[in-house]
Amino acid sequence: MDTDDKGAPPPDRPDQQPLPPFWEFPEELLAKWIAVPVETPITVVLTKQDIDNLLLGLLRGGDAHMALSEALAQWTQGNIDVARQMFAAARLNTVERQNRIRHFFSSIMLQATR
């Protein structure tokens, strides 16, 4: 997927708002995580925010799928403007899903590498 210099996917059309950037794991955190042996037991304390990130990340995945499915249905029926709106919603939900799930796992990784 093409992205601009901020990591955000470009808009489909010039009149659309650009998507928010994908949140990236900090390189230092990834390096520490990779160094943890695979057989290491991990115990973490999850905050409400962690649970919200996981739940909303999973739900946004379903929302993205439904919006993409609706975009296809609208496109096949010739409703191009509605199809574009639904496709934009699918892309936005996909970015939000990725970001929330990445935040959830970064919390686990951070605690496991302390």
Dist CA 79 CA 40 (whole Å): 53
Residue 93, domain extent: 54-114
Does residue 23 lie within any of the structural domains? no
pLDDT in tens, 72-107: 999 999 999 999 999 999 999 999 999 999 999 999
Count Cβ atoms within 10 A of the Cβ of residue 5 and give its class: 0-12 exposed, 13-18 middle, 19 or more buried.
exposed
Does residue 27 lie within any of the structural domains? no
Does residue 24 lie within any of the structural domains? no
Does residue 71 lie within any of the structural domains? yes
Is residue 80 a contact partner of residue 73, using CB atoms and an 8 Å limit? no
Does residue 20 lie within any of the structural domains? no
Q: What is the pTM of this model?
A: 0.79
pLDDT at 17: 75
Number of domains within the chain: 1
Does residue 110 lie within any of the structural domains? yes
Does residue 39 lie within any of the structural domains? no
Buried b (16+ CB within 10 A) or exposed e, 27-59: eeeeeebeeeeeeeeeeeeeeeebeebbebbee
pLDDT in tens, 4-62: 445 655 555 555 678 899 999 999 999 999 999 999 999 999 999 999 999 999 999 99
Does residue 111 lie within any of the structural domains? yes
Short-list 40, 2, 35, 30, CA closest to 18: 2
